[in-house]
Amino acid sequence: MIKDELINSKTYYGLSDGIKSGLEWLQKTDLSKIQDGRYEIDGNKIYANVQTYETKEDAKYEAHRKYADIQYMVNGCEYIGVAHYGDCTASIEYDEEKDIEFLDCKNKDVWQILKEEEFLILYPQDAHKPSINPDIKRHVKKVVVKVAL
């Protein structure tokens, strides 16, 4: 897992061409005006899901095998629980088509607060439960860029 502000994104361009493309798209796109939905950056290799929603009390951990996530907060803030995949067991089996598995994780939660203009890069070993209330229910706008591994 990597957490930083979008202004520092050039630091992470060397991770992969896909991560670089995803971060560049976030920088170049007027995210305050973009509507919810899916936006292709490089077909199914790199795409963005724009979401507006209310944070919640709790969620299941999730993990992905085919894609890394770049989760970027446009408006609002939320907590994201992060755990090592190896410390988790499947609660809902892996769905290959949707590239998602839901998990129960043994260790205590490690919380990251994702604020406006910050991003998290989450790899398959990073089980995560997003969209959690930081204190009270919040209205947020977030972009999740999916980067094929």
Q: Where are the domains of the chain?
A: 2-148
User: How many C-beta atoms surround the C-beta of residue 139 within 10 A?
Assistant: 10
Q: Write down the pLDDT at residue 10.
A: 97
pLDDT for the residue numbered 107: 72
C-beta of residue 134 within 8 angstroms of C-beta of residue 80: no
CB 73 within 8 A of CB 120: no
C-alpha to C-alpha distance for 42 and 138, rounded to whole angstroms: 32
**Beta partners for residue 111, in sequence order:** 81
Rg over alpha carbons for the chain, rounded to the nearest Å, is 15
Two structure tokens written together for 84: 């090592």
Mind listing the pLDDT tens digit for each residue in 104-149? Answer: 998 766 899 999 999 999 999 999 999 999 999 999 999 999 999 9
**What pLDDT score does 89 carry?**
95
Element (H, E) at 124: none
**What is the pTM assigned to this prediction?**
0.96
pLDDT digits (tens, 9 = 90+) for 28-77: 999 999 999 999 999 999 999 999 999 999 999 999 999 999 999 999 99
* pLDDT score for 101: 97
What does the block give as tokens for 98? 């949707």
**CATH number for the domain whose boundaries are 2-148:** 2.60.120.370
Contact 2, 112 (CB under 8 A): no
Strand order in the sheet with 67-75: 2-5, 118-122, 67-75, 139-148, 46-54, 37-42
- Tokens 């190896």 correspond to 86
The reported pLDDT for the residue numbered 110 is 87
